[in-house]
Amino acid sequence: MDRNLARIIAALEAKVGTDYLLAVTADHGMPSAQPGRQHFASEIVDLLQQKFDPQAKQLVTIYEPENAQMFVDEDRLSQLGLTLGDLARFLETQPFIFAVFTQDDVRRAADTPRVEEKNNG
């Protein structure tokens, strides 16, 4: 995907220069094809359970690997004296995870005015 996107950008810049806006969306992720570097959903859930809830293993209730959404029992999280931010920061330290977004992060991003809205308002 990176190589294909680089070719698209190069063709676009050759045609119109650098004054353009490119939006890329997807309905699912593209896992790395590098052998030995794949990590499965169950491994990520196990990693969190081992780190934060090793006895009860009730912290993560659902993990949807097809869209990388994880659901955490917020009552259990509170019982353990943790926040979603604690889990996110821990996951971001893993070399195979690029970024982690909590529900609050997504809400803040959705509520942030876009540059053109700021300029017009």
Per residue in 60-93, pLDDT (tens digit) is: 998 887 777 788 999 999 999 999 999 999 999 9
Number of CB atoms found within 10 A of residue 63's CB:
16
d(CA 79, CA 53) in angstroms, rounded, equals 10
pLDDT tens string for the chain (121 positions)?
A: 677 788 888 888 888 888 888 887 766 655 555 555 566 777 888 999 999 999 999 999 988 877 777 889 999 999 999 999 999 999 999 888 878 888 888 888 777 665 555 555 5
Q: What's this model's pTM, rounded to 2 decimal places? A: 0.59
The answer for residues whose C-beta is within 8 angstroms of residue 50's C-beta and 6 or more apart is none
Sign of the CA dihedral 109, 110, 116, 121? negative
